[in-house]
Structure 1
Amino acid sequence: MSEPKLTLYSDANYYSPYVMSAFVALTEKGIPFEIETVDLAQAENLKENYSAISTTRRVPTLSNGNFQLSESSAIDEYIEELFPAPTFPAIYPENQEDRAKAREIQAWLRSDLMPIREERSTEIVFGGQHRPPLTPAGEVAAAKLYDAALRLLGERNNLFGEWCIADTDLALMLNRLYLNGDKVPEKLVDYVQRQWDRDSVKEWLALSAR
């Protein structure tokens, strides 16, 4: 059976943390895929040709033949099921409870911590920009993030021992702060640097550096 032809739709700048998650998931699986860019600044995502592909009119969207799927965590889970371990490298933990916890972390990072996302955009992470000190609301969100990350990691180098896609997502959120020069606990600095050293992440960073 021939491999499916996959196309990942990305923002034109490669600044989206959600596209990054799907890109890293596909790259870790070792699956060939193509990238098509959508210029969000020109509202290309709202045009008819893209709305015919993406129900949500957002990025990322993954196209697999006649099937299209948006929302990064849904794409990550679909990729894991479409290309399962042990034939392909796993991107979620093997243990059922750990796998559920990884999905919880992904959902939390996408739905909470709004002050961090507003005050520390990914232009800091991928574009080298810097922002003023955090507001009180931002400081509360950062403290919440640090406490949760430290509790989740414990003494491990990754969230669940072996790397999983939730590690990339968590490291991205932490890097919004660390790369801006905000004070981040040393253990978490070591963690984000380790995650950023993965080949799949480096491939994404090379795209965003163009």
Structure 2
Amino acid sequence: MSLKLYVDSQFVSPYAISAYVALREKGLDFELETVNLDAGQNKDPSFTAKALTGRVPCLVHDDFMLTESSAITEYLEEMYPAPQYPSLYPVRPEKRAIARQVQAWIRSDLQALREDRSTYTVFYKRAEQPEPPLSPAAQAAANKLLQLAGRLVNGDYLFGSWCIADTDLAIMLSRLVMNGDPVPQKLKDYVIFQSQRPSLQDWLKNINLMTG
């Protein structure tokens, strides 16, 4: 068995983080390789031959290649199932479906918020000047995010114990928390708690190496 994960060279893609955390949570050994998106390496034939959609993350499992983070996490869940491996999703079908719903929504909505509060501002030292106020569209997206998270988050986890949707939601909320935008305390506490998870801390080590 051979596993390799391609991620962005700056280590800021929330989708690459999701796939990386999933591999770590499963306790799988894998090789990590970076792709310089600014230099267009994701468009190079050597990469597109592996990555069907030409994006990161890209998981290579022996001769099988897969892109799109939610597809990767579901593939890992099926290939390395519980109880032999830790689960990435809740056991109950209804909760699993909600976790996948949260993942799909985060990836398909909130574009204005992603533009105004990039993950670069979450993981790297921000400029001395704070980020400008959210645009009306980004504020509307933020309100939608906070309303949904406020309904789902009641404690440290969404469903009583960790699942991959916790990481995805916490990273999205971090766009607001780390930039000082108004966020209810219970959601701040949730983000802080999730950020201490060893699998995510392991990802952050890559950024610490880059920034010294």
Q: Into which bin does the TM-score normalised by the smaller protein fall?
A: over 0.9
Q: State yes or no: 1:36 paired with 2:33.
A: yes
For 1:71, the equivalent position in structure 2 comes to 68
For 2:162, the equivalent position in structure 1 comes to 163
Distance 1:146 1:137 in 2: 14
For 2:152, the equivalent position in structure 1 comes to 152
Q: 1:114 aligns with which of 102, 111, 114?
A: 111
Report the count of equivalent residues. Answer: 206
Q: Deviations over 1:30-86 (max 9, x none)?
A: 000010111101100001100100010000000001100000000000011111011
User: How many Å apart are 1:156 and its aligned residue?
Assistant: 3.4
For 2:124, the equivalent position in structure 1 comes to 127
Counterpart residue identity of residue 167, structure 2: T
For 1:136, the equivalent position in structure 2 comes to 136
Distance 2:160 2:109 in 1: 25
Counterpart residue identity of residue 139, structure 1: Q
For 2:191, the equivalent position in structure 1 comes to 192
Q: State yes or no: 1:59 paired with 2:62.
A: no
- Please state whether the residue corresponding to 1:7 is helix, strand or coil: strand
For 2:179, the equivalent position in structure 1 comes to 180
The two structures have a TM-score, normalised by structure 1, of 0.96
The two structures have a TM-score, normalised by structure 2, of 0.95
Q: State yes or no: 1:98 paired with 2:95.
A: yes
User: How many Å apart are 1:128 and its aligned residue?
Assistant: 2.4
Judge conservation of contact 2:58–2:67 (CA < 8 Å) in 1: yes
Q: CA RMSD in A?
A: 0.8
Distance 2:182 2:150 in 1: 14
Unaligned runs of 5+ in 1: none
Question: Could you tell me the percent identity over the aligned residues?
Answer: 52
Counterpart residue identity of residue 175, structure 2: R
For 1:25, the equivalent position in structure 2 comes to 22
For 1:203, the equivalent position in structure 2 comes to 202
Distance 2:182 2:205 in 1: 26
Q: Deviations over 1:82-113 (max 9, x none)?
A: 11011011110000110011000000000001
Distance 1:34 1:128 in 2: 27
Q: Deviations over 1:115-156 (max 9, x none)?
A: 110100011111122521111111111111011001012x33
Counterpart residue identity of residue 80, structure 2: F
Question: Which runs of at least 4 in structure 1 moved beyond 4 Å after TM superposition?
Answer: none
Q: State yes or no: 1:80 paired with 2:69.
A: no
Distance 1:111 1:43 in 2: 23
- Please state whether the residue corresponding to 1:183 is helix, strand or coil: coil
Which of 122-131 and 165-174 deviates more? 122-131
- Please state whether the residue corresponding to 1:94 is helix, strand or coil: coil
Unaligned runs of 5+ in 2: none
Which of 186-195 and 126-135 deviates more? 126-135
